[in-house]
Structure 1
Amino acid sequence: MRVGLERAGRRRSAVRRSDGPWVPWLVAAVAAAVYSTFAVTQWRRLEVPSWDLGIFTQLAKAYSRLEAPVVTIKGAGFNLLGDHFHPLLVVLGPIYRLFPSGLTLLIVQALLLALSAVPLTAVARELLGPRRGAALGVAYAFSWGLQGAVAVQFHEIALAVPLLALSLAAFLRARWWACALWAAPLVLVKEDLGLTVAVLGLVIWWRSISAGRAAWPRRALQAVRGDRQAQVGAGLAAWGVVWFVLAIGVVLPALNPRGTYDYYDRVATEGRTGVLDLLLGALAPAEKWVTVLLLVLAAGVVGVRSPLVWLWVPTLAWRFVGEVEHYWGWEWHYSAVLMPVAAAALLDAVAGPPAARRTGRAPVTGPAGSGQLRAPAGRGGWASAAVALALATTVGMTVTTPVARLADPVTYQPSPRLDGARAAVDAVTPGSTVESDIYLMAYLVPRAQVYWVGNHGNPAPDYLVLDTQGRTWPDVTVTDAAALAESRHPGTTYVLVVDADGYQVAERAG
């Protein structure tokens, strides 16, 4: 009878997987449309949350020319691989060569984040059924962490999110090699993700030995020697640790002009002494707890039962132990890599470990030798409650994110200063050098070699472009681009050639 039930379960599982295979792609398509629309409106409205889009556009431009990623926005001769370890961004080169614009990177990010919903929605439908699985897919695709990433424009984590989603979907299906292979490239996206990969490896390893906890530690040693799952987990953990150490200790200092890792001071703990003082400092202020609470809600609360939530720890640790305030909250892109983990943890908690569940609709046997039948994992009302809570969190947070502005018709109108911005960009001769504040930086990169006006030691540029209505670094307002250029580069003469809608362009005359 048990064999018959298992066969029926496999047949029904196959039917369910074939029922509406387009649904995950539909969820992703809607997310891609929303996020791409937001990106285009943001670009046309000249909104600049940070200078990072200019930096990554300059990186993509260098890769498109098969050059080292020297980003002069960071400083003359600055190799961006000495800032963060993200060699996988080389994939942007061919795309940028076809479409040389900062907007290209925004669209690429929108598509990548949306694409990550496909594997998670598909596995959610397998484990929870078509309706609840689709609901969780929507909750994930529009989760606050992904919306926050879209709102602050392009960052390297755009590549990490789909890789992590594919890896975790394989984890939920107990496809350990696929899980490891999708996770392995994460170490090439950003240096701290090596620790995330290591934790995932440890979770895989722990799952392989958890059934034999009574025989610990002998069972652990035997598992590593003979259990393939344990071997994959241990190997992935080692891979993550090795690359983290290499990136932080070798590659980044070697390529950084200052010969060090620039972000040590971001986790500096000035005035704190001892481990206890460090931990207590990481627990305040309350803004950090809001971020954690939102993650727990995104995981439907029950997700905290899954060991996958340990994947949150490396990212939250480097964010919380330092004094950089914008690391603590939910608004920026720092939580994007945590959202696939939240969705997968929810699924893992309600469905149970692969060895203890079936994904079909057929009933499965209870405890060995009991002769009883129990409902498949993930079929109870509490699973529905978890999905509903995750979806409600997404809906509730959406009204607080910039993406919600898509409901306002004003969002689709270009900036009233667009003509002035175009005049400023057009005034810069292609192939020239230009110093700029952050506001038109990404728009200028395809046209010229751009330097940031906030850096010292830049060569005297051919042009200086300034938004006099914005804040120039340091925190002062400058109203004369020519005078600023001459004060920054003594012995030069600049004349104002554009002064429109608050944008000024000063051209070097001598």
Structure 2
Amino acid sequence: MSEAVSTDPIGTPDPAERPSPWLCWAAPLAIAATATLLYGLLGVQQWRSLAPRSWDLGIFSELAKAYSRLDAPIVSIKGDAVNLLGDHFHPLLVVLGPVWALWPSGLALLWAQALLLGISAIPLTRLAIDRLGGGLGILAGVGYAFSFGLQAAADVQFHEIALAVPLLAFSLTALLRGRLRQALVLAGLLVFVKEDLGLTVAVLGGVIALRDARHRLHGAVLAAWGLGWFLLSTFVILPLLNTAGQYDYTGNLGSPLDVFFPAEKWMTVGMLLLAAGVIGARSPLIWLMVPTLGWRFTGTVEHYWTWYWHYNAVLVPIALVALLDALGDRRTGRATAYLATDAALRPRRLVQRGAVLASVAVTAILGGQMPIASLASADPLARSPRWDAAQQTMAVLPAGTTVASDITLMAYLVPGHDVQWTHGPNARVPDCVVIDRAAFSWSGAPPADPVQWAADTYQVAYQPLSEEGGFIATCRPEVL
């Protein structure tokens, strides 16, 4: 793929400034390995401290367990006979099956996500070093690897977007390197990670089609692929596999006018703009953020709007690639004709430094609020004072039983049990019930008598088994 020709020597690098091939590989690999280790340790810290962030880890643990057995992803935590492919369209998560087969634990999923997030830094850092030089390129790579979007995603534990992050990173960097076929194939896989990413793929196809007439057909095909899978998955496949025969999240959408308020949404936009070094707004690739921001900002769920949770993880690779696209290529002194908004754009070193520093600063300013900071203030290998009590509670439960649990021990119970949620819609009566008085899912008001609560809720008799450290286990007499 050709680039615009320029005789202007402004951007032509001194040969002495060219990073060595060793640096181009060693630095990205070191950054990726460090990010993987720290995000993995963050997961270990949460696991051992009995600090789940939501029910997602339990849900995806049940999915991975089902795939490891070559079964459909039936997830009882969400409800009886609930196929998780009727909740969100993420067939690519089948890759978790072998992971669970080798290591049947929710902790395995946390390490898998850490690895996926870490790996995404490799192509982005290599491209940054190629385009900006060793120093700035490494800084940009570090800023990305520990960006607010990735840290927040790691902190709220596993989610399917973990697969989308490296796919986006490898696809978009391939595009800027002129490897169109590789970019198209990797981008095309995004439709199998989550249904809304079909719109992101469609926008990317549109960008490709509009920027270069030679590849208009390629872009149009990619756009049709993305839009087609979005429509098929959202309006056909998901309702077909959903127990209620519908797409569950339509009700979370408000009025289009809600996009602009409250101001918290603009703060998120500002943070993403800074992550793109501000100048990244000149790249047409920045438009890839619009579908994700669109459904989030029209949504009525407040945590869709913020910088926290996992929702920005798919946007930070876009931000860095947009930054690198807008800054152009220092090796040739030319901007990329295929994607750059201005073929004459050749910013001087000051602009490059300012853009990279802005990208890094948006995370650095948050400082101690960042999840990784907790690794310095607490031993990631330390166990909760209630760890032994939790293990004893789970040990008294008969193997293979159906267990209703609140969020605290939900993921821990999945390997040996069919797990339900104590607040879920399940009609099946669980064999056992496990309650943690300190679980946040009780909103500070756990049952005063958990055994009686279980009997009243499920209309059968339960026998108390153990009460340790705030954990209460009770089972139906016939399963003991």
- CA displacement at 1:3 relative to structure 2: 12
Are residues 345 and 376 of structure 1, via their aligned partners in 2, closer, same or farther at CA, if it must alter by over 3 Å? Answer: closer
Match of 1:18 among 21, 25, 33: 21
Q: What's the CA shift for 1:480?
A: 2.4
Measure the CA separation in 1 of the matches of 2:374 and 2:49: 12
Which residue is equivalent to 2:167? 163
In 1, Cα distance between the equivalents of 2:188 and 2:259? Answer: 29
Deviation at 1:359, TM superposition (A): 5.0
* Secondary structure class of the residue paired with 2:312: helix
1:435–1:451 CA contact under 8 A, matched in 2? yes
Q: Deviations 1:305-359 (Å, cap 9, x if unpaired)?
A: 11111111000111111211011101100110000001001101111xxxxxx55
Tell me what 1:488 maps to.
457
Report matched runs for 1:208-223 at 5 Å: 208=212, 223=213
Any conservation in 2 of the 1:429–1:447 contact (CA below 8 Å)? no
Q: Is the 8 A contact 1:186 1:197 kept in 2?
A: yes
Go from structure 1 to structure 2 and tell me whether the alpha carbon gap of 1:363 and 1:447 turns closer, same or farther (over 3 Å shift): closer
Mapped contact 1:451–1:458 kept (Cα < 8 A)? no
Q: Structure 1 residues 236, 46: CA separation in 2 closer, same or farther (over 3 Å shift)?
A: same
CA distance in 2, matches of 1:383, 1:455: 52
SS of residue paired to 1:415: coil
Taking structure 2 as the reference length, the TM-score comes to 0.92
2:81 match: secondary structure: coil
- Report how far residue 171 of structure 1 moved: 1.6
Match of 2:43 among 39, 45, 65: 39
**C-alpha distance 41-472 of structure 1, shift in aligned 2 (>3 A):** closer
Q: Structure 1 residue 432: deviation in Å? A: 1.1
Pick which of 128-137 and 376-385 moved more: 376-385
Count of paired positions: 465
Match of 1:426 among 375, 395, 404: 395
SS, match of residue 430 in structure 2: coil
Distance 1:378 1:123 in 2: 17
Cα deviation, residue 457, structure 1 = 3.6
Q: Distance in 2 between matches of 1:98 and 1:24?
A: 28
Deviations 1:54-90 (A, max 9, x none): 0000000000000000001111100000000000000
Aligned Cα root-mean-square deviation (Å): 2.5
* Cα contact 2:6–2:333 (8 A) shared by 1: no
Shift of 1:377: 3.6
Question: What is the DSSP-based 3-state SS (H/G/I as helix, E as strand, rest coil) of the residue aligned with 1:75?
Answer: coil
Q: 2:202–2:227: 8 Å Cα contact kept in structure 1?
A: yes
- Kindly tell me: are residues 431 and 298 of structure 1, through their superposed partners in 2, closer, same or farther at Cα, counting changes over 3 Å? same
CA distance in 2, matches of 1:88, 1:380: 41
Q: Which residue of 1 aligns with 2:340?
A: none
| Equivalent residue, structure 2, for 1:238 | 224
CA drift at 1:473: 5.2
Structure 2: runs of 5+ lacking an equivalent: 338-342
SS at match of 2:420: strand
Q: Does 1:189 align with 2:158?
A: no
Q: 2:105 aligns with which of 101, 125, 141?
A: 101
* Correspondences of 1:88-487 after superposition (within 5 Å): 88-208=92-212, 223=213, 227=214, 229-269=215-255, 278-279=256-257, 281-351=258-328, 359-360=330-331, 377=346, 379-409=348-378, 412-472=381-441, 476-487=445-456
1:133 Cα deviation (Å)? 0.7
The structure whose Rg is larger is: 1
Cα distance in 2 for residues equivalent to 1:402 and 1:344:
24
CA distance in 1, matches of 2:166, 2:300: 30
Q: Which residue of the partner structure matches residue 81 of structure 2? A: 77
Q: Which residue of 2 aligns with 1:49?
A: 53
Given candidates 463, 470, 477, the residue that maps to 1:502 is: 470
Q: Secondary structure at the match of 1:506?
A: strand
Cα shift readout 1:381-408 (whole Å, capped 9, x = no counterpart) = 1011100111122222342122211110
Query: Residues 72 and 375 (structure 1 numbering): CA distance in 2 closer, same or farther, change over 3 Å?
Result: closer
**8 Å contact kept, 1:45–1:418:** yes
CA distance in 1, matches of 2:16, 2:170: 20
Distance 1:256 1:88 in 2: 18
How many Å apart are 1:376 and its aligned residue? 9.1
1:13 deviates by: 11
Q: Secondary structure at the match of 2:451?
A: helix
1:275 corresponds to which residue? none
Conserved 8 A contact 2:407-2:439: no
State the 1:364 CA deviation: 6.6
Aligned equivalents of 1:328, 1:363: Cα separation in 2: 39
Q: Deviations over 1:456-504 (max 9, x none)?
A: 34322221000012244587421322112111121x2111111000000
Q: Judge conservation of contact 1:302–1:349 (CA < 8 Å) in 2.
A: yes
- How far the C-alpha of 1:409 sits from its partner, in A, is 3.2
* Gap change, CA 1:103 and 1:483, over 3 Å in 2: same
Does structure 1 conserve the Cα–Cα contact (< 8 Å) formed by 2:65 and 2:97?
Answer: yes
Any conservation in 2 of the 1:13–1:359 contact (CA below 8 Å)?
A: no
- One-letter amino acid of the structure 2 residue matched with residue 63 of structure 1: Y
